[in-house]
Chain A
């Protein structure tokens, strides 16, 4: 599996960004072996329609799970079509703290009705 988290910087110590598609970085983690990498989000500063494009980027990077804050309508339909499992992120904290919460099973998964 591969978990993606939008972040304000490229490291695990950076904050989870409270924007999904316009976060400057996306951190990719394999929670099983702990391997991490980061992607600079090429759409962070772009005009409209970035939500679906970031979803496409996740698919290209074989992402299977995502931790994200409130997600726009277009990105949401795209995520549902990909089958990526989305976990809701509320509040604030570092990327590593988000991973801990995920591992502890404390993040709620987004369902189609929510």
Chain B
């Protein structure tokens, strides 16, 4: 099984659109996993029929039993996350700030605190016309996206073990969810754009991926928008020994197709011709597996 993660560092470089375009060309032999759990957009492009929705549990959260609580406030004093507020009548735990560490439970003499499982999102699985599909939604304000990414990826590997390719739409950034996304992937596809911020974010992303010994390949999106920026990206890629698989020009077809909720690679256009290089690269990798 070949696991390919599509990531970008900077958001909005076209990660999801590129993932969808690749997936459509591997119809029948791809499992899609959307690991951008803050803004899961792949479903808007691949239009899955969701068959199963499961609750996702994050870290436990503290709950205070008002019957036992003596309003002493020791829990609030010792909470490093400022998650507990004490008033004259009650003690409240802020569910967004609580990280489930258990200090309040330990320190409470009245034994009024309990740590309980907490649903902080859901993981969905279903089918698209191109193959099985998994994504997840974290309830707003919840952490633990790294764990959710881990859950989605595991499901993607297990849902149809005979399918040779797992294609992952990754999160932006370089934090916890990104690290969970690229861990153990065979190939990490960097989708970048020729802007100073795109370039800056790419450098940080490459540092993280290289420290995790990921194999990197690159696609430059909107390559004709800032020609000198694209030139700089080529130089950077060469220095870092990252192969550039293709440079996708600004193509009105891409926006049109995305608005219609279809992957752009289903019809011929300059962008589609470029994505063909990525498709062939992955086909070769699959042959070598």
A and B physically associate: yes
Interface residue ranges, A against B (CB under 8 Å): 19, 45-48, 70, 73
Residues of A within 8 A of B144 (CB): 47-48
Q: Give per-residue flags for B42-71: 1 if the beta carbon is below 8 A from chain A beta carbons, else 0.
A: 000000000000000111100000000000
How many of B's residues come within 8 Å of A, CB to CB? 12
Q: Which residue of A lies closest to B184 (CB)?
A: A70
A47 to B184, CA, bound (A): 20
Q: How far is the CB of B183 from chain A (nearest CB, A)?
A: 8
Report yes or no: A48 in contact with B59, Cβ–Cβ below 8 A.
yes
Report yes or no: B154 in contact with A47, Cβ–Cβ below 8 A.
no
Q: List 7 A-B contacts (CB under 8 A).
A: A46-B59, A47-B57, A47-B100, A47-B147, A48-B146, A48-B147, A73-B183
Report yes or no: A45 in contact with B59, Cβ–Cβ below 8 A.
no
Residues of A within 8 A of B146 (CB): 48
A47 to B117, CA, bound (A): 10
Q: Sorted from nearest, which 6 A-B pairs have the closest CB atoms?
A: A47-B59, A48-B147, A47-B58, A47-B147, A45-B57, A47-B144
Q: How far is the CB of A44 from chain B (nearest CB, A)?
A: 11
Q: Which residue of A lies closest to B154 (CB)?
A: A19
Give the interface centre of A47, A70, A73 by most chain B CB atoms within 10 Å: A47
Q: How far is the CB of A49 from chain B (nearest CB, A)?
A: 10
B residues 137-152 with Cβ under 8 Å of A?
144, 146-147
Residues of B within 8 A of A48 (CB): 59, 144, 146-147
**16 other A-B residue contacts (CB within 8 Å) besides A47-B59, A70-B184:** A19-B154, A45-B57, A45-B117, A46-B59, A46-B60, A47-B57, A47-B58, A47-B60, A47-B100, A47-B144, A47-B147, A48-B59, A48-B144, A48-B146, A48-B147, A73-B183
Residues of A within 8 A of B60 (CB): 46-47
A48 to B117, CA, bound (A): 13
Residues of A within 8 A of B57 (CB): 45, 47
